[in-house]
Structure 1
Amino acid sequence: MSAQKTNLYFIALIPHMELRGKIEVLKKEMKERFNAKHALKSPAHITLQMPFRSSNKIEQSLIKTLGEFAALQDSFKISISGFDCFKPRVIFVKVSDHTPIIALHAKLIPDLSTKVEIGKKEISQNIHPHMTIATRDLSTQNFNKAWGEFKNREFEASFLCKSLFLLKHNGKFWDIFQEFDFKNQ
Structure 2
Amino acid sequence: MEKSSFFIGICPPHLLEQEIHRIKEELRQKYGIQGAFRSKAHITLQMPFNLPIKRQEDFLKDLMAYLRNQKAFDVQLDDFGNFEPRVIYINVQENTALNALQESVERFMKGFQVFNGTHKNNGFNPHITVAFRDLKKQTFYNIWDEVKNREFREVFTARSVVIFKHNGKSWDIFKELKLEGL
TM-score normalised by structure 1 residue count: 0.92
Matched, 1:119 2:114: yes
Identity of aligned residues (%): 34
State the partner residue of 1:61. Answer: 58
State the partner residue of 2:29. Answer: 32
SS where residue 51 of structure 2 aligns?
A: strand
State the partner residue of 1:22. Answer: 19
- 2:167 corresponds, among 170, 176, 180, to 170
Q: In 2 relative to 1, CA 143–6 (structure 1 residues): closer, same or farther, beyond 3 Å? A: same
Q: CA deviation at 1:83?
A: 0.3
State the partner residue of 2:132. Answer: 135
How many pairs does the alignment contain?
Answer: 179
TM-score normalised by structure 2 residue count: 0.93
Tell me, in whole angstroms, the C-alpha distance in 2 between the residues paired with 1:68 and 1:159.
24
Counterpart AA for 2:179: F
State the partner residue of 1:47. Answer: 44
- Alignment RMSD, CA only? 1.4
Q: CA deviation at 1:123?
A: 3.4
Whether contact under 8 Å (1:35, 1:138) holds in the other structure is no
Moved more, 30-39 or 122-131: 122-131
Unaligned ranges ≥5, structure 2: none
Counterpart AA for 1:123: G
Counterpart AA for 2:11: I
Tell me, in whole angstroms, the C-alpha distance in 1 between the residues paired with 2:140 and 2:95.
25
SS where residue 94 of structure 2 aligns?
A: coil
State the partner residue of 2:84. Answer: 87
